[in-house]
Structure 1
């Protein structure tokens, strides 16, 4: 039986059972599904000194032999979760991947490891929750199984996906937890030996610690990236000692809100672009069907429509792409299909009862040859999954023509980016650019 919250104690300490009731009640209408026992079921552990609720760290206090939390912090965490914009169609792959190991530390979130480990176990999602006597296994109070999407991969395999907004929320929780633990270690190493603080002192200090480490200010301890790695080769930089820690200290250069986790680089020229978060790294990855064939999925709307200038600036951090006023071949192919061939894409009437027309099928673009030999490289744009089976190939465009069209569009769409490009910056570039290194596995979740 859940405990009642005592009226008039908003902002004071309440038991974990009462906090569970507050959390469940406040998040009942949230687009992101939550569990009702977020503070008392695994992996929440009050004895660690905190619990994770959404993207926030909530401190726990030993109060009279039982664990409590500040009610105001539970309410803040719920308000932040309710404000998350949820798009169930914008998905990020979370597994299964090869070489997954059991989570090494049970006391920390490590949500990617936890999900990947459960997905590869017999029984798949929900196996842990179905064990005898086990409660609903959650991640930071989020019931991730209810929004996990299963998609076919080949004839027998399956892949698993979560909405991007939830991925970012869990990344924020993991980062906030890391900062909390670092601050706790620093305090334990530097604090003088004094008498233990009273329960009232702990309660007063609780909110102050939350403000210092809460993920609604994730960039407070991070620094913006100012081009410190410009012109460096990824193959050299990735082998340097301590580079992973340096990357984690920057803010993502694309979204500028999340902590960076991956050092993005151009697979054609080999140059480092900039540090980005996991979400942005998966956002820009081409949807390869084969090594020379990509499907132009919905996320290209953001890359080339709504957040165009940010992504163009990011891609042109590679000196090779900037000097040649182009994009890596897979990205140029996607741009050609999505933008240059937009007038060619057929449409069909919408279902009965609604007005207008909708684009036909799914765009796909493939290429023959290589950007190393532009005269022989040809892009072929086609439509898959036409309801009536009418459409196949829309256009065949030579690489050089596609690059010229992109240059014209770039000058109109992002003049500042176009102004920094051009043949006057070819000094120091490799005389022969490298072939495309295709990442078809969908892994890429490790730092290097």
Structure 2
């Protein structure tokens, strides 16, 4: 701040300092370009590019074709194995391709925190989406529900981890509920949960001044909607249940 000088109209900096900032910006761009460069010479996009993965040799950047050649495809051979058992074996995940995005090398063994079973290898980005991301958006990823069912406990019980249940209902309500004769899809969010009933508020206010209403969904209806999504996923119909696949909350 002491380098700044006020000319009466604008702030001025010494020429040597501005040249230093320019060199720093140029160097940063060079390093960013190098970080986006795969060993084959292909360069990834600036945003949302190929993930750098912590392997035995450090961080690397790999394009999807190179990652596919360098990594094994996970075939489900650890299905039914407890995560703690896998940790004791010190089985590495970075030898495999992420089974969800199928573009980046895996960084960790994803597992179900409720039942403890291994689901499969995921890259750092996909593992973060599953573990700490918003469930509503994770479930919209292709193959997401099927991946969650790699847990033997969830598969046998025909359910998903509890943190996904409300967002299954949200997606169902947005798909099936409408404000009067309006054909626009509303936005749903949970207002409260009391005495086994989840109350959702649906908003169509972007299209109507009074387009707000509530919908109550019981615990049994939540379970039915989750079961419908599981059955659809196992049948190869990845995505949200179609209207009418579960009764009560539609």
Shorter-chain TM band: 0.5 to 0.7
Map 1:359-374; keep pairs closer than 5 Å: 359-360=185-186, 362-365=187-190, 368=193
3-state DSSP class of the match of 1:219? helix
What CA distance in whole angstroms lies between the structure 1 residues aligned with 2:156 and 2:118? 15
Distance 1:367 1:345, change over 3 A: same
Q: Tell me which residue corresponds to 2:164.
A: 331
2: CA distance, partners of 1:367 / 1:232: 37
Q: 1:348, 1:358 within 8 Å by CA — same for their partners in 2?
A: no
Query: Contact conserved, 1:381 with 1:395, CA < 8 A, in 2?
Result: yes
What are the equivalent positions in structure 2 for 1:48-447 lying under 5 Å apart? Answer: 52=34, 54-57=36-39, 73=41, 77=42, 80-81=43-44, 84=45, 142=46, 166-171=47-52, 178=58, 216-238=65-87, 240=88, 242-243=90-91, 246-285=92-131, 296=136, 299=137, 302-303=140-141, 307=142, 310-346=143-179, 358-360=184-186, 362-365=187-190, 368=193, 377-383=196-202, 386-387=205-206, 390=210, 394-412=214-232, 414-416=234-236
How far residue 344 of structure 1 moved from its aligned partner, in angstroms, is 1.5
Mapped to 2, the partners of 1:241 and 1:413 lie a distance apart of 31
Q: TM-score, normalised by structure 2?
A: 0.64
Shift of 1:53: 5.1
Give a deviation string over 1:6-25, Cα, whole Å, max 9, x none: xxxxxxxxxxxxxxxxxxxx
CA distance in 2, matches of 1:328, 1:37: 50
TM-score, normalized by length of structure 1?
A: 0.39
Structure 1 unaligned spans of 5+? 1-35, 46-50, 59-72, 85-141, 143-165, 182-212, 289-293, 350-356, 370-375, 419-448
Change (3 A) 1:335 1:249: same
Aligned residue for 2:155, secondary structure, equals: helix
Distance 2:78 2:197 in 1: 34
* Separation (CA, whole Å) in 2 of partners of 1:347 and 1:300: 30
Q: Provide the secondary structure at the position in 2 that maps to 1:253.
A: coil
Identify if the C-alpha distance between structure 1 residues 266 and 225 changes in structure 2 by more than 3 Å, giving closer, same or farther. same
Query: Following TM superposition, by how much is the alpha carbon of 1:345 offset from its aligned partner in structure 2, in angstroms?
Result: 4.6
Partner residue in 1 for 2:7 = none
Structure 2: how far apart are the matches of 1:180 and 1:413? Answer: 34
Contact 2:202 2:215 in 1 (8 A): no
2:23 & 2:121 partners in 1: Cα distance?
A: 36
CA distance, structure 2, for counterparts of residue 335 and residue 398 of structure 1: 14
Contact 1:316 1:417 in 2 (8 A): no
C-alpha separation in 2, matches of 1:265 and 1:235 = 10
Decide whether the 8 Å contact of 1:348 with 1:359 is kept in 2.
Answer: no
Query: C-alpha separation between the residues in 2 aligned to 1:323 and 1:331?
Result: 17
SS in 2 for 1:218: helix
Superposition deviation, residue 348 in structure 1: 11
Q: CA deviation at 1:263?
A: 2.0
Structure 2 runs not aligned, ≥5 long = 1-21, 239-250
CA shift for structure 1 position 167: 4.0
Paired with 2:164 and 2:155, the residues of 1 have a C-alpha distance of 14
Matched length: 214
The C-alpha deviation readout for 1:317-336, integer Å capped at 9, x for no partner, is 11121111111122121111
Question: Where does structure 1 differ by over 6 angstroms across 4 or more consecutive aligned residues?
Answer: none
